Amino acid sequence: MRGLVIVLLAAACLGGCRRNAGEQPKVILDAILMDGSGRPPVSSSVVVVQDGVVKAFGDRAQTPIPPDGVEFHVPGKFIFPSDPAAPLRVGGPANLLIVKVNPASDPDYAKKTSGRMTNGHWDQYPQ
């Protein structure tokens, strides 16, 4: 009987863990967004990342911020996709660079990285 109770408790825990799967959203705020699409940069942006993908991005005034999100404020920095051939898109992989200089005007921008995200996880925490 004790073994059955342990099995049932373990199953309940695993079932609950699956229902609550998913990480807390990461919300990157106030960077200058260059989404790689050719559109003009967004000077005060929001990028929402969850479970390794981009959930939303755009102007701070028009992009909802999840109330349970962990916020990362990076004012004055530039954020863009780490792969220039893969523009930022909702549902796409969250592979992002945050740099201290405008990558369009500074060829050495990679040496001035302030943060790096791969598949929604920080390789280099934003500074």
pLDDT single digits (tens) 45-61: 999 999 999 999 999 99
The Cα diameter of the chain in Å comes to 70
What's the average model confidence in pLDDT over 60-89?
A: 95
| Domain 23-124, classified CATH 2.30.40.10, yes or no | yes
Higher pLDDT, 7 or 43: 43
Q: What is the pLDDT of residue 2?
A: 53
Q: What burial letters (b/e) apply to 88-113, b meaning 16+ CB within 10 Å?
A: beeeebbbbbbbbbebeeeeebeeeb
Q: Residue 72: what residue type?
A: F
What pLDDT is recorded for position 21? 57
pLDDT at 127: 84
Question: Mapping DSSP to helix (H, G, I), strand (E, B) and coil, where does residue 6 land?
Answer: helix
The pTM score is 0.81
Judge whether residue 75 has pLDDT over 80: yes
Q: What are the structural domain ranges in the chain?
A: 23-124
On average, the pLDDT of the chain sits at: 87
Element (H, E) at 10: helix 2-19
Q: Which residue has the tokens 């592979």?
A: 95
